[in-house]
C-alpha cells in the first residue's frame, strides 16, 4: 500500500505551492515505520494452496512463495532473487520470464512437488514457450520440467507484481545463476551408487551369512561368480 500511504506526499509534486502539512508528515512517518518493519515469514501450511509469483528484469529475476491466510492477508513463506549471467541478460524478455518461472519452481521443488499451486506471472511468456518449445532443446527442457508440476496460471500485471519486481531489479549479488542443465536437475549432489559394480557381477560369499550351515542350503549356481558375456550375432 505504498502508493496509498504516500498520497499526501505525492500531491505536493503538483504545480501548487509546496506546503508540508500535518497529513504529509503523518504519511512520511507511516512510510518510515512500514519500511523499517521486517517482512514476517510464515511456515508453509500444506493444507492450503501455495501461490508462486515470479518476475524478471534486465539484470535478474525474483520470486515470492506465499499463501492466503484466514484473515485474507498474504502469508509470505519465502522470497528469493538471482542475478542473470552475462549470456542470460541478452535473452528475449519472454525467455527471461520463462527462465524465472523454471528457476523458482526448481528452487521450491521440495514444497511444490505433488502439490497443486497457483503460478502468478506474465502468462504471455508461457504462451510464447508453448509456441516455440520445439524450436530449441533448451526450451523443450523448460517445458518438460513444467509438465512435472500441477499448477494453474494466473496472469499477474506489473501493477500487482511489486515484490517480485523489486527482487528481480535488486538481485542477490552472491547468487550466480548456474547453467540451464543444473537448473533442471533436483537440488543436492548427484546420486552415488553404493557399489562400483552391478550386483549381478558380484559373487555371493557364504562366509558372510549368519547361519553356519547356510552354505549347504545355497544353490550351487550362487556359489560362484556370475559373469555376463555379450554375444555378437
For residue 113, tell me if it sits in a domain: yes
* Residues paired with 51 in a beta bridge: 66, 118
Considering only residues 206 and 113, tell me which one the structure prediction assigns the higher pLDDT: 113
Query: For 155-194, what is each residue's pLDDT tens digit?
Result: 887 666 677 777 777 676 545 555 444 444 545 554 454 4
* 66 plus 176 within the same structural domain: yes
Cβ atoms of 94 and 121 closer than 8 Å: no
Tell me what pLDDT residue 208 has.
46
* 67 plus 16 within the same structural domain: no
Cell 533442471 sits on residue: 184
* 81 plus 26 within the same structural domain: no
**102 — pLDDT class (breaks 50, 70, 90):** very high
* 145 plus 217 within the same structural domain: no
**Nearest to 161, CA basis, from 27, 52, 50:** 52
* 68 plus 111 within the same structural domain: yes
The CATH number covering residue 156 comes to 3.30.420.10
For residue 233, tell me if it sits in a domain: no
Query: For 34-90, what is each residue's pLDDT tens digit?
Result: 888 877 889 999 999 999 999 888 888 999 999 998 888 889 999 998 888 889 989
* 79 plus 27 within the same structural domain: no
Distance separating alpha carbons of residues 109 and 148, to the nearest angstrom: 10
Cell 558372510 sits on residue: 208
* 207 plus 116 within the same structural domain: no
**Distances 214 to 25, 199, 210, 211, 225 between C-alpha atoms, Å:** 89, 20, 8, 5, 18
Looking at the structure of the chain, the number of domains it has is 3
**pTM score of the predicted model:** 0.62
* Range of the structural domain that residue 213 is part of: 193-226
**222 — pLDDT class (breaks 50, 70, 90):** very low
For residue 127, tell me if it sits in a domain: yes
Cβ atoms of 106 and 187 closer than 8 Å: yes
* 221 plus 107 within the same structural domain: no
* 217 plus 116 within the same structural domain: no
N-to-C CA span, the chain: 75
Amino acid at each position: 500500500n505504498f502508493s496509498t500511504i504516500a498520497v499526501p506526499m505525492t500531491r505536493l509534486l503538483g504545480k501548487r505551492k509546496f506546503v508540508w502539512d500535518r497529513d504529509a508528515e503523518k504519511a512520511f512517518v507511516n512510510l518510515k515505520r512500514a519500511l523499517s518493519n521486517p517482512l514476517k515469514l510464515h511456515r508453509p501450511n500444506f493444507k492450503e494452496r501455495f501461490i508462486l509469483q515470479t518476475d524478471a528484469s534486465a539484470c535478474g529475476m525474483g520470486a515470492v512463495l506465499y499463501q492466503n491466510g484466514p484473515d485474507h492477508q498474504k502469508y509470505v513463506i519465502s522470497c528469493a532473487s538471482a542475478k542473470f549471467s552475462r549470456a542470460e541478460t541478452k535473452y528475449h524478455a519472454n525467455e527471461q520470464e520463462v527462465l524465472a518461472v523454471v528457476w523458482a519452481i526448481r528452487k521450491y521443488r521440495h514444497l511444490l512437488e505433488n502439490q497443486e499451486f497457483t503460478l502468478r506471472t506474465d502468462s504471455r511468456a508461457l504462451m510464447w514457450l508453448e509456441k516455440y518449445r520445439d524450436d530449441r532443446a533448451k526450451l523443450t527442457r523448460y517445458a518438460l520440467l513444467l509438465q512435472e508440476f500441477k499448477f494453474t496460471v494466473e496472469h499477474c500485471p506489473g501493477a500487482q507484481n511489486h515484490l517480485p519486481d523489486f527482487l528481480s531489479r535488486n538481485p542477490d549479488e552472491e547468487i550466480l545463476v548456474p547453467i540451464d542443465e543444473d537448473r533442471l536437475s533436483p537440488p543436492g549432489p548427484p546420486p552415488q551408487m553404493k557399489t562400483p559394480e552391478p550386483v549381478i557381477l558380484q559373487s555371493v560369499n557364504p562366509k558372510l551369512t549368519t547361519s553356519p550351515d547356510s552354505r549347504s542350503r545355497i544353490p550351487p549356481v550362487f556359489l560362484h561368480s556370475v559373469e555376463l558375456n555379450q554375444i555378437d550375432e
